């Protein structure tokens, strides 16, 4: 017949087993959640909704319809837009000002663009937009819409493939301020 002490030892052992089982199950669930989130983020990164070419095509159609000239994609302006969008994402910052008060003109110059920086549009959206959604968001804001139609020759755009998404578009002019390439 088991003594009272033996019974208490069995209870203590059962409690340790129960705690181990709970911790083990919690750990498995946590690992599964982390793996799912990692796989989901990898899937989202590989299935970007936004394409630069589509945005540029839609933007140029809009600019031509409004009497402005088409813009060329410039990799240096794209680099300036990307630098700012990724910095905003990393720091949770919203707006045109960069680290240490950096302006978009300074970003464009630092990227090596040989022309005049014209304007920058910034958007913070709940999820990664399509090209049409981003263009519509900026068209529906009078200040951003004016920026889209300003005389320029080149542009660059970057959209973080995240939710929320940071979107930056920069334009510049190599022909001098106010000149267009194909009105």
> What would the pLDDT profile of 134-182 be if each residue is shown by its tens digit?
999 999 999 999 999 999 999 999 999 988 899 999 998 886 544 333 3
Write down the pLDDT at residue 141: 94
As a whole-number percent, the residues of the chain with pLDDT over 70 amount to: 75
Q: What is the pTM of this model?
A: 0.69
Is the bond leading into 164 cis (omega within 30 degrees of zero)? yes
Write down the pLDDT at residue 154: 94
> What would the pLDDT profile of 38-61 be if each residue is shown by its tens digit?
555 544 444 578 898 999 999 999
Residue in the block written with tokens 């529906």: 140
Whether 35 shows a pLDDT value over 70: the answer reads no
Residues in the chain, total:
183
| Helix, strand, coil abundance in the chain, percent, nearest 5 | 55, 15, 30
Cβ atoms of 173 and 179 within 8 Å: the answer is: yes
134's tokens: 């981003």
What's the angle, vertex CA 140, arms to CA 91 and CA 67, rounded to 5? 115
Give the dihedral of Cα atoms 94, 100, 101, 102; nearest 10 deg.
-90
SS3 26: helix
Write down the pLDDT at residue 181: 38
The rounded Cα 78 to chain-centroid distance in angstroms is: 13
> What would the pLDDT profile of 60-81 be if each residue is shown by its tens digit?
999 999 999 999 999 999 999 9
As a whole-number percent, the residues of the chain with pLDDT over 90 amount to: 52
Backbone φ and ψ of 138, nearest 5°: -75, -35
What's the mean pLDDT in 16-40?
A: 65
Q: Which residue has the higher pLDDT, 55 or 36?
A: 55
What's the mean pLDDT in 100-117?
A: 89
DSSP 128-173: PPPHHHHHHHHHTSHHHHHHHTSS-SEEEEEE-SSSSEEEEEEEEE
Confidence bin at 16 (pLDDT 50/70/90): confident
Write down the pLDDT at residue 118: 83
Rg for the chain (alpha carbons), in Å? 26
Cβ atoms of 172 and 71 within 8 Å: the answer is: no
Confidence bin at 88 (pLDDT 50/70/90): very high
Of the candidates 175, 164, 178, the one whose C-alpha atom is nearest the C-alpha of residue 74 is 175
What's the mean pLDDT in 110-137?
A: 90
């Amino acid at each position: 017949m088991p003594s009272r002490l033996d019974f208490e030892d069995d209870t203590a052992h059962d409690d340790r087993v129960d705690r181990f089982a709970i911790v083990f199950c919690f750990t498995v669930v946590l690992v599964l959640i982390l793996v799912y989130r990692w796989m989901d983020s990898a899937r989202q990164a590989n299935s970007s909704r936004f394409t630069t070419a589509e945005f540029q095509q839609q933007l140029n159609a809009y600019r031509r319809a409004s009497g402005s000239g088409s813009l060329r994609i410039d990799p240096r302006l794209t680099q300036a837009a990307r630098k700012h969008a990724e910095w905003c994402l990393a720091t949770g910052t919203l707006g045109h000002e960069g680290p240490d008060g950096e302006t978009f003109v300074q970003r464009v110059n630092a990227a090596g663009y040989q022309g005049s920086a014209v304007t920058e549009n910034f958007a913070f959206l709940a999820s990664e937009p399509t090209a049409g959604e981003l263009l519509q968001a900026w068209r529906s804001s009078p200040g951003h819409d004016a920026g889209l139609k300003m005389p320029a020759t080149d542009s660059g755009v970057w959209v973080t493939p995240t939710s929320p998404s940071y979107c930056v578009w920069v334009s510049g002019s190599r022909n001098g301020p106010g000149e267009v390439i194909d009105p």
